[in-house]
Chains A and B, each alone.
Chain A
Amino acid sequence: NAGVTQTPKFQVLKTGQSMTLQCAQDMNHNSMYWYRQDPGMGLRLIYYSASEGTTDKGEVPNGYNVSRLNKREFSLRLESAAPSQTSVYFCASSVSAGRGDTQYFGPGTRLTVL
């Protein structure tokens, strides 16, 4: 049982390049989330998927798109990367989208945009 896995662990992009961050969970959770964490700050929600087939915007969705590929996988895409998107990106999952459900986090993807 690996929990939540993320790929890649590190990535460097040039401004304007695109890339997709991958996330998968093996806990049969219904809900999945993408957060970003800037240096010295707490996590901020980008997008979430309450269940397979649905996605919703979080606090900072601009510049990102998401795809809930199936129950296990939730990807985050940067279409045209900008230096302001340099951050650590965390994926999380929970049993459901209710506010009381514990979220389990992946190890993060460290992205630098030059």
Chain B
Amino acid sequence: DAKTTQPPSMDCAEGRAANLPCNHSTISGNEYVYWYRQIHSQGPQYIIHGLKNNETNEMASLIITEDRKSSTLILPHATLRDTAVYYCIVRARQGGGNKLTFGTGTQLKVEL
């Protein structure tokens, strides 16, 4: 699975959009970009995933650049409850192997 690079921390004002970047310059054609988050002391929570098209669900939007070497997770109206560590994970959709490689993620702090 391709390696990802994320900033260690970010701050966001409540009600504003939170844009979390992720670099994955070695991503290959069959690898998807997944985002999970972990709110303090809880189990990780799936947010969204995509291959090359932008994706949106009830939680967030995922923007993937045309060359697929980077992506941005957007929380459109961040709330205090969105304070968490956000993990960007790149993994292939087919084949064996079941490991989610989490890395250290981005600590997002949403403030009043």
Tell me what chain B mostly uses at the interface: helix, strand, loop, or mixed. Answer: loop
**Restricting to B84-110, which residues have a CB under 8 Å from any CB of A?**
87, 91-105
Whether A42 pairs with B103 at a CB distance below 8 angstroms is yes
**Restricting to A91-114, which residues have a CB under 8 Å from any CB of B?**
92, 94, 97-100, 102-108
Whether B42 pairs with A45 at a CB distance below 8 angstroms is no
Q: Tell me how many residues of B have a C-beta within 8 Å of chain A.
A: 24
Whether B100 pairs with A43 at a CB distance below 8 angstroms is yes
Query: B29: CB under 8 A from chain A?
Result: no
Whether B32 pairs with A45 at a CB distance below 8 angstroms is no
Query: A41: CB under 8 A from chain B?
Result: yes
Bound-state CA distance A69–B31 (Å) is: 33
Bound-state CA distance A99–B28 (Å) is: 14
CB-CB under 8 A for A90 and B98, given A42-B87, A98-B93, A99-B93: no
CB-CB under 8 A for A4 and B93, given A41-B104, A43-B100, A45-B98: no
Q: Tell me how many residues of A have a C-beta within 8 Å of chain B.
A: 30
Residue of B nearest to A41 (CB): B104
Bound-state CA distance A35–B100 (Å) is: 10
Query: A31: CB under 8 A from chain B?
Result: yes
Whether A100 pairs with B32 at a CB distance below 8 angstroms is yes
Whether A50 pairs with B43 at a CB distance below 8 angstroms is no
Chain B residues near A40 (CB-CB < 8 A): 104
Whether A45 pairs with B104 at a CB distance below 8 angstroms is no
Proximity string of chain A (16-47) to chain B, C-beta cutoff 8 Å, 1 when within and 0 when not: 00000000000000010101000011111100
Residue of B nearest to A110 (CB): B41
Chain A residues near B95 (CB-CB < 8 A): 99
What residues make up the interface of B, taking CB atoms closer than 8 Å to A?
Answer: 32, 41-46, 49, 87, 91-105
Shortest Cβ-Cβ A-B pairs, 9 listed: A42-B102, A105-B43, A100-B93, A43-B102, A45-B99, A102-B46, A48-B98, A99-B91, A105-B44
